[in-house]
């Protein structure tokens, strides 16, 4: 069983500011880190650190940032494809973190947009029934739909985290087996009929909704330092917990995910804030 993550990868620049700016405001800030980021990469890294065979299909540029990304990703226990850079600039995310732990993010998509359907499918040829295809909201609706349609026809389980959100993603729910959305995305996209739906509610916790049950899991208490990547950590560990136990996402998967997300928000940065392989192994071994 393998997880294929088709999504974006970026260079994350994190800037510390006093508070998020109002429209038209000019503010001072300080650059505090540069790291690997992008929702596709974030989720793939954490899933692989949980001990799941993971393949990330994501575009990097032929520029210096692309080479830096590829060098850094060699330290992770996952496969990054394509292995060569494309002609576009590597994608970048600029993350503003305020003193109260809130954040705002600006992300470019030129490299992700240049990753064509044919390129992605060429790196899915070894996928088989029972494998997982995970996507986020960084591709067009058409590309996202085509990939999920292909995956369903091949017997793969489809997982969707529609962030950044696009209202037209609401048409894709018949192709989705597991959906993870925040409250705003749930209200906008109305993911009715999805077999397994998880609605995250920030510091409050998360709710699991299936055809037979509803379960709310409170967030693990923690002093938040930087919330960047918390949602990606939550999704990745929830999915990994369920896969490692051979079940659909359940109450224990949400507990594992909440505990892992608490580790992420207690640290600054993106990749450097994620739980380590050792931390995740210990966490997933427990029933909490």
pLDDT digits (tens, 9 = 90+) for 193-223: 899 999 999 999 999 999 988 999 999 999 9
The per-residue pLDDT for 288 is 67
Q: CA nearest 69: which of 52, 99, 89? A: 89
Q: How far is CA 234 from CA 175, 229, 252, 277, in A?
A: 22, 9, 12, 15
The pLDDT value recorded for residue 106 is 84
* Confidence (pLDDT) at 20: 83
pLDDT in tens, 78-100: 999 999 999 899 999 888 888 88
Neighbours of 232 (CB within 10 A): 28
Tens of pLDDT, residues 45-57:
999 999 999 999 9
- Percent of the chain scoring above 90 in pLDDT: 78
* Residue 29 pLDDT > 70: yes
Given the structure tokens 């494309």, which residue do they identify?
86
Mean pLDDT within 115-131: 97
pLDDT band at 118 (very low <50, low <70, confident <90, very high): very high
pLDDT class of 272 with cuts at 50, 70, 90: confident
Q: Using CA atoms, how far apart are residues 174 and 189, in angstroms rounded to an integer?
A: 13
Indicate if the pLDDT at residue 167 is higher than 90.
Answer: yes
pLDDT at 208: 97
The band of 269, judged by pLDDT with boundaries at 50, 70 and 90, is confident
**214 phi and psi angles, rounded to 5 deg:** -130, 135
Tens-digit pLDDT profile for residues 99-113:
887 878 887 889 999
DSSP state letter for 17: -
For residue 63, the tally of other CB atoms under 10 A from its CB is 17
When pLDDT is cut at 50, 70 and 90, the band that residue 277 belongs to is: very high
Q: What is the pLDDT of residue 35?
A: 87
Give the mean pLDDT of the chain.
Answer: 94
């Amino acid at each position: 069983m393998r997880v294929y993550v088709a999504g974006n990868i970026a260079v994350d620049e994190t800037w510390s500011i006093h508070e998020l700016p109002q429209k038209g405001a000019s503010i001072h800030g300080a650059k505090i880190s540069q790291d690997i980021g992008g929702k596709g990469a974030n989720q793939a890294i954490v899933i692989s650190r949980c001990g799941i065979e993971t393949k990330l299909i994501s575009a990097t540029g032929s520029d210096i940032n692309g080479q830096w990304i590829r060098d850094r990703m060699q330290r992770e226990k996952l496969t990054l494809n394509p292995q060569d850079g494309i002609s576009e600039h590597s994608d970048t995310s600029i993350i503003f973190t305020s003193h109260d732990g809130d954040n705002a993010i600006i992300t470019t998509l030129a490299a992700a947009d240049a990753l064509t359907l044919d390129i992605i499918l060429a790196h899915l040829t070894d996928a088989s029934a029972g494998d997982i295809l995970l996507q986020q909201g960084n591709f067009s609706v058409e590309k996202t739909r085509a990939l999920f349609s292909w995956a369903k026809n091949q017997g793969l389980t489809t997982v969707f985290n529609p962030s950044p959100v696009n209202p037209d993603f609401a048409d894709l729910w018949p192709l989705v087996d597991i959906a993870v959305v925040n409250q705003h995305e749930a209200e906008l996209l109305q993911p009715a009929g999805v077999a397994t739906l998880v609605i995250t509610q920030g510091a409050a916790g998360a709710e699991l909704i299936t055809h037979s049950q509803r379960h709310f899991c409170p967030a693990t208490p923690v002093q938040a330092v930087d919330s960047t990547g918390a949602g990606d950590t939550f999704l990745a560990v929830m999915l990994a917990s369920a896969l490692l136990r051979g079940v659909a996402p359940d109450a224990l998967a949400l507990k594992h995910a909440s505990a892992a997300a608490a580790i992420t928000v207690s640290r600054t940065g993106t990749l450097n804030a994620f739980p380590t392989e050792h931390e995740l192994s210990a966490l997933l071994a427990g029933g909490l």
